[in-house]
């Protein structure tokens, strides 16, 4: 474990508190049975520490709350829309912006506009909603992340989210460049453990795409965390600001989809941004079908104001340093106790490696689902499965996708919990690790046909 003084103190003062309930163990046992062993289906009130996601769970600043009060709720041309557009242009550098209610709204627009039936979308590992929209529009998803991205033990690889250019070359040689709808590059890679992508890799992907006339879009959801890792790990960026690194990052893409619920520090919102005027015009036509006017896209005026302010706050070094290092603190506590996690730790979460945590279970026993349920009972800590259940089924064979990584994600909301909370989480995981042999596998009681992890129900095998 690092010297304790090397983890930065909270760069904020707490002005409002929310008092959580603390259920006792028999109450938690009852709650998880009622939720069908699916932590998504627990009542949030029954969770002492809620690490289900960092999506939309951010604590907003006093400036953002003040911004809510100047919401202009006009149906068209809200002043807050102009503030949001200006913030995206300044910090992300794209010319055109189409707002959406959240990230998947932008994914829907991009996939619908860019994909033709029978095309391919290579990406650095899948993400659930992203792949869903790609496949729904007739594309075949191809994973082109470097092999180490699938290896939870490859701890000396600083940019495990990188795209393997050789895998891109192989795909183009096999199917032809015209069959690639676009390359999708996520910064950071959520399901690899929040792993970053280097600036050099983005430059290489851009050069490859230019050579073959292929477009490149970013899933920019956690791009500020990625910028922090570049500053810390990539030569030549140590003296650049987070704002400069973010702007350079985005300069290698034709556009991006964004879930504002993560690195824009808000509870709801998203956008599709791009430089191509024709694509923008087509997205303006489509957004009215699914989201709303091109000047609000499913957000209230006040939400757009909070997002414009959040974008500016997100590039503050003190904020992002604390955010990522707090995650590192939790990872270091677990590593010290010998708990198997994805290494190195990512930007938004610590991922428990359920395969190594529960070696007595096979992947068909749904070990990560089972571990997440057990952790809730042990400590009132709600986490999320990111393994075979999240991966879903192959659209052709109908069999489970069987991802190499079978993980439980301890996702840290932004500006919500303190280091003492990290200790409570670590202690609960360590207690559970000491009695891991007692944890049993699960089987489906109800399996939804799509994005099954949200609503599935299970029982003990
Ligand atoms: N991520 C997460 O908890 C929200 C729910 S799980 C489906 O990690 C990436 C990398 C994400 C992401 C959401 C989205 C979709 C796109 N890309 O949730 O629609 O992590 O705003 O964004 C979740 P929205």
Q: What is the DSSP string of 234-246?
A: STT-TTS-HHHHH
Handedness of CA 384, 412, 422, 14 (dihedral sign): negative
Q: Which atom of ligand 1 is nearest to the CA of 189?
A: 10
Task: Please report which helix (H) or strand (E) contains residue 257, including its range.
Answer: strand 255-259
- pLDDT at residue 331 greater than cutoff 90: yes
Which of 15-51 are b and which e, b meaning 16 or more Cβ less than 10 Å from the residue's Cβ? eeeeeeeebeeeebeebbeebbbbbbebeeebbbbbb
pLDDT by residue (tens digit) across 11-43?
A: 999 999 999 999 999 999 999 999 999 999 999
Q: What percent of the chain has pLDDT over 70?
A: 100
* Per-residue pLDDT, 395: 82
* Per-residue pLDDT, 361: 98
Cβ–ligand 1 distance for 190 under 6 Å, the answer yes
| CA–centroid distance, residue 102 to ligand 1 (Å) | 9
Cβ–ligand 1 distance for 237 under 6 Å, the answer no
Query: How far is residue 153's CA from residue 279's CA, in Å, rounded to a whole number?
Result: 41
Q: What is the CA radius of gyration of the chain?
A: 21
| CA–centroid distance, residue 174 to ligand 1 (Å) | 31
* Per-residue pLDDT, 1: 85
- pLDDT at residue 343 greater than cutoff 90: yes
- Residues in CB range of 241: below 8 A, 6 or more apart: 315, 317
One DSSP character per residue, 344-367 reads S--SSEEEEEHHHH-TTS-GGG-H
Q: Which atom of ligand 1 is nearest to the CA of 105?
A: 19
pLDDT by residue (tens digit) across 207-245?
A: 999 999 999 999 999 999 999 999 999 999 999 999 999
> Using N-to-C axis directions, what is the helix angle for 79-92 and 301-314, rounded to 10°?
20
Query: How far is residue 115's CA from residue 133's CA, in Å, rounded to a whole number?
Result: 10
Tokens (6 digits) for 258: 């964004």
Q: Distance between the two ends of the chain, CA-based, in angstroms?
A: 38
pLDDT by residue (tens digit) across 104-137?
A: 999 999 999 999 999 999 999 999 999 999 999 9
Q: Whose CA is nearest to atom 24 of ligand 1?
A: 103
The β-bridge relationship of strands 270-274 and 96-100 is antiparallel
Query: How far is residue 298's CA from residue 259's CA, in Å, rounded to a whole number?
Result: 13
- pLDDT at residue 162 greater than cutoff 90: yes
Q: What are phi and psi of 75, to 5 degrees?
A: -70, -35
Looking at every residue in the chain, the average pLDDT score rounds to 97
| CA–centroid distance, residue 103 to ligand 1 (Å) | 7
| CA–centroid distance, residue 4 to ligand 1 (Å) | 32
Q: Which atom of ligand 1 is nearest to the CA of 348?
A: 8
Q: How many CB atoms lie within 10 A of CB 238?
A: 10
pLDDT by residue (tens digit) across 423-452?
A: 999 999 999 999 999 999 999 999 999 999
Ranking 284-288, 291-295, 349-353, 449-453 by mean pLDDT, the lowest is 449-453
266-284: average pLDDT: 98
Cβ–ligand 1 distance for 55 under 6 Å, the answer yes
Q: How far is CA 247 from CA 87, 90, 220, 242, 406, in A?
A: 12, 8, 12, 9, 34
Query: How far is residue 437's CA from residue 359's CA, in Å, rounded to a whole number?
Result: 9
Handedness of CA 23, 41, 302, 304 (dihedral sign): positive
pLDDT by residue (tens digit) across 68-115?
A: 999 999 999 999 999 999 999 999 999 999 999 999 999 999 999 999
Q: What are phi and psi of 79, to 5 degrees?
A: -65, -30
pLDDT by residue (tens digit) across 52-68?
A: 999 999 999 999 999 99
**Alpha carbon 238 to chain centroid distance?**
25
Beta bridge partner(s), residue 384: 409
* Per-residue pLDDT, 256: 98
Query: What pTM, to 2 d.p., does this model score?
Result: 0.96
Query: How far is residue 168's CA from residue 113's CA, in Å, rounded to a whole number?
Result: 22
Q: Which atom of ligand 1 is nearest to the CA of 219?
A: 17
One DSSP character per residue, 151-217 reads -TT-TT-TTTT-B-HHHHHHHHHHH-GGGB--EEEESSBGGGTSB---HHHHHHHHHHHHHHT--EE
Which residues form the catalytic set? 75, 127-128, 219, 262, 386, 453
Query: How far is residue 146's CA from residue 143's CA, in Å, rounded to a whole number?
Result: 9
Asked if residues 145 and 189 have their Cβ atoms less than 8 Å apart, the reply is yes
Query: How far is residue 197's CA from residue 185's CA, in Å, rounded to a whole number?
Result: 9
């Amino acid at each position: 474990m690092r010297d304790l003084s090397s983890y930065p103190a909270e760069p904020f003062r707490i002005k409002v508190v929310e008092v959580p309930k603390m259920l006792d163990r028999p109450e938690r046992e009852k709650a998880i049975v009622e939720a069908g062993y699916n932590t998504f289906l627990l009542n949030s009130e029954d969770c002492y520490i809620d690490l289900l996601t960092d999506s939309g769970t951010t604590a907003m600043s006093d400036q953002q709350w003040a911004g809510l009060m100047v919401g202009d709720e006009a149906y068209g041309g809200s002043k807050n829309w102009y503030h949001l557009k200006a913030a995206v242009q300044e910090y992300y550098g794209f010319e055109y912006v189409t707002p959406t209610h959240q990230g998947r709204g932008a994914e829907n627009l991009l996939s619908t506009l860019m994909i033709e039936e029978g095309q391919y979308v290579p990406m650095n590992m899948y993400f659930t909603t992203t792949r869903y929209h790609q496949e729904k529009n007739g594309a075949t998803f191809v994973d082109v992340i470097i092999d180490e991205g699938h290896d939870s033990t490859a701890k000396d690889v600083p940019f495990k989210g990188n795209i393997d250019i050789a895998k891109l070359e192989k795909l183009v040689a096999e199917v032809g460049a015209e069959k690639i709808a676009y390359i999708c590059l996520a910064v950071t890679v959520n399901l690899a453990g929040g792993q970053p992508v280097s600036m050099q890799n983005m430059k290489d992907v851009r050069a490859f795409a230019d050579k073959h006339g292929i477009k490149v879009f970013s899933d920019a959801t956690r791009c500020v965390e990625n910028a922090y890792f570049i500053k810390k790990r990539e030569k030549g960026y140590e003296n650049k600001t987070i704002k400069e690194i973010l702007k350079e990052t985005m300069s290698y893409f034709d556009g991006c989809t964004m879930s504002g619920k993560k690195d824009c520090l808000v509870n709801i919102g998203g956008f599709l941004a791009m430089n191509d005027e024709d694509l923008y015009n087509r997205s303006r036509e489509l957004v009215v079908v699914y989201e709303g006017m091109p000047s609000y896209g499913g957000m209230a005026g006040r939400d757009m104001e909070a997002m414009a302010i959040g974008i500016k706050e997100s590039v503050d070094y003190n904020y992002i340093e604390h955010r990522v290092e707090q995650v590192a603190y939790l990872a270091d506590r677990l590593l010290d106790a010998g708990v198997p996690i994805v290494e190195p730790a990512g930007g938004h979460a610590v991922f428990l490696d359920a395969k190594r945590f529960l070696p007595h279970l096979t992947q068909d026993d749904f070990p990560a689902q089972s571990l997440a349920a057990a952790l809730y009972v042990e400590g009132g800590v709600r986490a999320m499965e990111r393994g075979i259940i999240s991966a879903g089924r192959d659209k052709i064979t109908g069999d489970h996708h069987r991802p190499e990584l079978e993980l439980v994600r301890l996702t840290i909301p932004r500006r919500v919990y303190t280091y003492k909370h990290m200790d409570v989480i670590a202690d609960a995981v360590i207690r559970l690790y000491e009695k891991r042999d007692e944890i049993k596998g699960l089987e489906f009681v109800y399996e939804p046909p799509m994005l099954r992890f949200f609503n599935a129900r299970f029982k003990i095998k």
